Structure 1
Amino acid sequence: MQLKELTTLEEMLAQLETIHYLYPKMTAEKYELYLRQMIPHNYKQLIVLDGEKVAGITGFWKGIKLWSGPYLEIDNFVVHPDYRGKGIGKLLTDYIDAKAHEFGSTMIVLDAYVENYTAHRFYYNQGFAPRGYHFIKTINKNQLS
């Protein structure tokens, strides 16, 4: 398995097929529109390659908040169904952990859907713990991925 950090729009656009495992309704147009807005805000992606096949992907970006100081956020964590339970997620989180240390982050943060118990178990096993609630107020349901 090989890890590869993606920094360009073109590299990220090529990952739409894998992103569809998390967001099946994501269109190429919306994906590009969002990436064009995210990349200037420190957004990058990390993929795990098995030869030419993408086994897993996650986005990540640096940020800073008053309560936490500098942090690294995991975003859109996806493991290809054929590779689940084979250590791909751990490869991704280990890399992100090293990046967080490199950046001088105080913590790594992420969101997981409330009903995604498999993800919760995985994140607990990687040393993550819930710190609070992420409240949302949906303004336009039709725009959600």
Structure 2
Amino acid sequence: MLQQIETMRFLYPNLSIEKYEEYLSQMIPHNYIQIGVFENEVCLGITGCWSATKLWTGKYLEIDNFVVNPEFRSKGIGKILTDYIEQKAINLDCSSIVLDAFTGNFAAHRFYYNQGYGPKGFHFVKILDKKKLTV
């Protein structure tokens, strides 16, 4: 996963290798994995995901840190990733797939709508320490 930091930096430009490694070491024990699309060892797109259970949905799969290299956008890479995630969720017997998209990321909203996703509610956030944020 660490080898794909340059692709992750399209989403989080200020992400240091140290912070990435630290966060991954905390996330992986909680079922976090990454799925990538590669061509000739170049990462075209990558997404993280993890499964968990909530009372309202039961078992679900969460997409996290979804990014396609800007040079390869609008070429079907995102669809390859979401199709793979959907099959993974079915194989895990999940009831649903969930994700967050930043409120101002209208291109992502359009993409997810086109893939059959829709808003179910609001993800509220209270920032306690801006210095600890990656974005």
Shared fold (TM-score greater than 0.5)? yes
* Structure 2 Cα separation of the partners of residues 51 and 127 of structure 1: 30
* Structure 1 Cα separation of the partners of residues 42 and 87 of structure 2: 24
Q: Which runs of 5+ in 2 are unaligned?
A: none
1:64 to 28, 31, 53: 53
Q: Does 1:18 align with 2:22?
A: no
- Paired residue type of 1:128: Y
- What displacement does 1:131 show? 0.2
Aligned length: 134
Supply the RMSD in Å over aligned alpha carbons: 0.4
- What displacement does 1:52 show? 1.1
- What displacement does 1:51 show? 1.2
* Structure 2 Cα separation of the partners of residues 97 and 141 of structure 1: 33
SS at match of 1:139: coil
**Map of 1:64-143 to 2, 5 A cutoff?**
64-143=53-132
- Paired residue type of 1:59: G
1:9-30, CA deviations, whole angstroms, 9 ceiling, x for partnerless residues? xxx0111010000000000110
TM-score normalized by structure 2?
Answer: 0.99
* Structure 2 Cα separation of the partners of residues 106 and 89 of structure 1: 22
1:96-126, CA deviations, whole angstroms, 9 ceiling, x for partnerless residues? 0000000000000000000000000000000
Q: Alignment identity in percent?
A: 58
TM-score normalized by structure 1?
Answer: 0.92
* Structure 1 Cα separation of the partners of residues 55 and 61 of structure 2: 14
Q: Does 1:47 align with 2:36?
A: yes
* Structure 2 Cα separation of the partners of residues 86 and 59 of structure 1: 20
